[in-house]
Amino acid sequence: MALKDDFLFIFSCILAISLSSSILGRPATFLEDFGITWSDSHIKQIDGGRAIQLILDQNSGCGFASKRKYLFGHISMKIKLISGDSAGTVTAFYMNSDTNTIRDELDFEFLGNRTGQPYTVQTNIYTHGKGDREQRVNLWFDPAVDFHTYTIMWNHHHIVFYVDEVPIRVYKNNEAINILYPKLQPMGVYSTLWEADDWATRGGLEKIDWSKAPFLAYYKDFDIEGCAVPGPTSCASNPRNWWEGTAYQALNAKEARRYRWVRLNHMIYDYCTDKLRYPVPPRECLAGI
């Protein structure tokens, strides 16, 4: 009996290790799941690596990326954005397949502002190399005062962008009517802080004021729960992954109310309604996003 119990214990440990290699949770430190990809002198670890500071000055911006890619899952970070006059800066948090002309990509881009103006978050979605699906929302709070949680939920049914558990964008899987949906290419998790004053603030009218540099953004609570690649090939298609559960296949009633509230009160641009760019709305707009 003791041998049987020992065997079951060892088997359960092996199973737990196998699952943890594909469905990862929040790392203890930044460097456990991420690496610096651009200008390591401009990223500083804080609190033993459990938080980081990104720096933009006239010499450089900076960036980091996950060590692995993921196919479906729930990705979130807590971010405190640049305070004061941040016009011309972009702080980005996104997923990217890094496959050039056929890339899939899911973007949060936080567009800097002049002091006293609302912070704008731009989202974009690329499927098989096709992007130009921008939506912009003015945040209803000051994201530079404290940390807020930004989340990408990606499953077989839809992609949802959340700000503090409030959905600000939904992109449904409409493959049934031949609309492309990212499901085959694993994506890494990336973040960058950079200067883009040719377009970021009021279409480039507001330029960066380098006298306010350095510009600082802070990150913590890096939470990745998804199917890591390389990893078990069956993970991405496993309907028992929690993010594929019934509760996550569509917005619930509370989320739907919040989503409508954001679109009615805080959305300032939607490519679906831009008749100059798209005299005929893209098919996914007609299908419902």
Amino acid at 77: M
Closest C-alpha to 34, from 289, 224, 266, 255: 224
Find tokens 């190399």 and name the residue: 129
Closest C-alpha to 224, from 190, 251, 247, 194: 190
**Residue 267 CB contacts under 8 Å (≥ 6 apart), including other chains:** 135, 136, 137
109 is a catalytic site residue: yes
- List 32, 105, 134, 244, catalytic entry: 105
Dist CA 17 CA 8 (whole Å): 14
Neighbours of 116 (CB within 10 A): 7
Q: Are strands 135-138 and 267-270 parallel, antiparallel or unpaired?
A: antiparallel
User: By the 8 A CB rule, do 89 and 199 touch?
Assistant: no
284 is a catalytic site residue: no
Neighbours of 129 (CB within 10 A): 14
**Residue 31 CB contacts under 8 Å (≥ 6 apart), including other chains:** 45, 49
Q: And the tokens for 195?
A: 């200067």
Which 3 state secondary structure label does DSSP give 86? coil
> 6 - beta bridge partners?
none
**Residue 229 CB contacts under 8 Å (≥ 6 apart), including other chains:** 68, 69, 70, 71, 186
Which 3 state secondary structure label does DSSP give 70? strand
Q: And the tokens for 88?
A: 């011309």
- List 109, 195, 206, 284, catalytic entry: 109
Catalytic positions are 105, 109
